[in-house]
Chain A
Amino acid sequence: MKRSKTMEFGVGLFMLAGIVGLVFLGLRVSGLSLSTPTQTFQLEANFANIGGLKPRARVTMAGVTVGRVESIDLDTDWYDARVVMSLDSGLEGELSQDTTAAILTAGLLGEQYIGLSVGGAPEMLADGDTIRDTQSALVLEELIQQFVSSMANN
């Protein structure tokens, strides 16, 4: 009987270890947080070229992550890319109308993300507004092409 008790204890410990492991995978490895998802609001921005930007990419401001890219699709009116971002609702009504959005690259070959920087206009962006002033991704091939053609002109 005693042996069966230690066996039961062992199996219980084993299953508990499985649950703890799953929690570790959730919190530490995939970065889930236990707090409820923060309220967000959406902004749109049109870019001439998004390079390698992907949905779920970070949106940062002064290097601080303030939101994520929600969706990317082609705007057939202008034939450019329409990017929908969702930002922390703490920023709603805090960003001026002339805020600029630029697609930046982390390191030389790293992931691409959107960097926002605030302007000085008195009117503020509201939920669903579009950021007018955007800067496209740096595409390495275009850069090299420009460099080569400017060398050729010289």
Chain B
Amino acid sequence: MGKIEKIGNLLLWGLQGFLIFLLIFQSSFALPMAGIGHLHPLILHLPIGFGVLLVALFAIKKQLASFEVLAEFLLLITAIFSTLTAIFGLFLAKEGGYETSALDWHQWSGVAVSFVYFSWVLLRKNLFLGATLGFITLVIAGHTGASITHGEDYLRFGEKATEITSESVVFEDIVQPILKAKCESCHNDQKSKGALKMNSIANLMKGGKHGAIWKAGDALNSHLVQRIKLPMNTKEHMPPLGKAQLTPDEITILTLWVKEGASFEKKLGQFSPAFQKLVQPTELTISTKSYDFSAASESTIESVNSPYCTVYPIANESPALQADFYVAAKFDPKTLSNLSQVSEQLVGLQLSKMPIKNEDLNLVSKFTHLEKLNLNFTAIDDAGIGQLAGLNHLVQLSLAGTKVGKSGVAKLLAKLPALKEIHVWSTRLSAGDLSALGKQFPKVTFDAGYIPKEETLQINPPILVNENLILKPGEKLMFKHTLRDVLFRYTLNDSLPDSLQSPSTKGSIAIANYAKVRILATKDGWRASKPIDVRVYKSQFIPSRIDLLSKPDPKYPAAGGASLMDFVIGAREVKGVPNFTWLGFKEADLDVVATFEKSTSIHGVTLSYLEKTDSDVFPPVKVEVWGGETPGQMRLITTAKPIQPKEKSGYSARGINIPIAGIHAKYYRIKAERLKRLPTFVDNKGKGAWLRVDELLFY
């Protein structure tokens, strides 16, 4: 006997002694190191493996030179590990939660395994008998152990994989198998954690130490549902961490089963569609339609493609082709006739909005495999569509926005055996025609399009076209609208326009002088739009130059007199950015002379100014217009007083028209007097106001 064997024998004797000691005194004192029992499931597979190997060794006995040595050594190891397993098992049993009778069986069969191997280590005779006997006790101990952890009938093979139908009893065929697989290993007759057994209807109804585990119909308040839905890391989560977990679908099945009454008898067909779909999920299928024609060559497909006609296979390795035409302005009939090269392969053709005429349909009719044809908004009618007869595969035909009528459609449909869907809105078909056709062709769906409800919607406001609101001589104020046949109504006197009475225009308004235009859009069948306001300035006569006689404030010099006739509208100020669109006066009044090339008769003068009282910018208090044929001979023609604001206000650019009658002059001098004492409603009351002017226009 070698050294190793000696040590092994000693160890075995020691372990056996300890095991017998444990067996005798196990009930009389509590075991320390309770956790060591958890090594039992880890180690128990070793003696099983060794025991099997020991038996198997006899099969190749003759081929082995030193069979005896090998077999005896293996026997020793098996004995050691079976004894260790039995010891750990006793520790584990001490932790409790196991049904006693099952545990007893397992305990004694396990101990028997270790005794059998130990005895033969001592005997050293009749090895084959020992190995076989050991193996048999191993099988018994293994099975009794597995019955505790996996449930008593875990070994029942060939259980019919029940096919789920709507006749299946849900509890029996769907719910119970889940409980069996995921819950019963800890909740059975042998092992009932939390005093709960889940292995029969009666036990389930009885519940555990917290009472009933569900409230039929109320999943949220059911103990079972609450516990399985708790987060994984909470102690109460079921099944416990480390055990096989319920899948999301299984959780849902249990939840819905409780929610839908927790019945033991109800059949699947009586459950909600949601539940039925869950247990009978739809399979993902990719239906591939096969075609009996062969594919066109790549070069052919390339040759029928153009920037405005895309021809492509409907899927990888499919011979079927789709052709789409785009950009009506670039439609080329040759591109369409080119498609005859792939007439066999075309299954889809999109020609909507293309300039297609009746005679082009002759070509289309040659594409005999067409399934989907879009001819929306093309110039075809009853005289042409007859040619499409014979498209025996056509399923969907779109003819919206064409001039087809009842007789043409009826004749065609009789010859399109596969047709399922036709789009015919905005055609000559009346509602009556449609219902007659519907009766004649019950298999075809007629899409009559959207039929607007009886409601009157408000149209959107006019859109201003002019980019510059200082109109030059001959220029008009222009409005447009995104809808056709819109009539605009407007006022120039600051009153709200009336959608029926006020002056109307289709877009252009002749403007005589500065005006605030209020305008709205109207259209039959719509409510009038909200009005929009536009302040527009008008120049009828342009002087050759304007010269300043007084000095503007250095902060707002603009470009001197020229900026009064630059046709650039005053811009709002941005802090830190110099503004050259406004000519500003603080210490002096405005005094300018406009010089015309020759003596000009005008109807008035418009001075545009800024009103922004919160920044001390006020209208001029008085504007004088002087005129004369020479600079020295001017006389006062008229005086105007702009309306002064009565309260604090923000930015408002506006103008004042000053009419003049029957005057000829080459020189016009305009003096605008600034407000000297700010009114009490502004912060700087009593100080002088700013005067800011933008344009000086003559009409």
Verify that A and B bind, or say they do not: no
Interface residues of A (CB under 8 A from B): none
Binding site for A on B (CB under 8 A): none
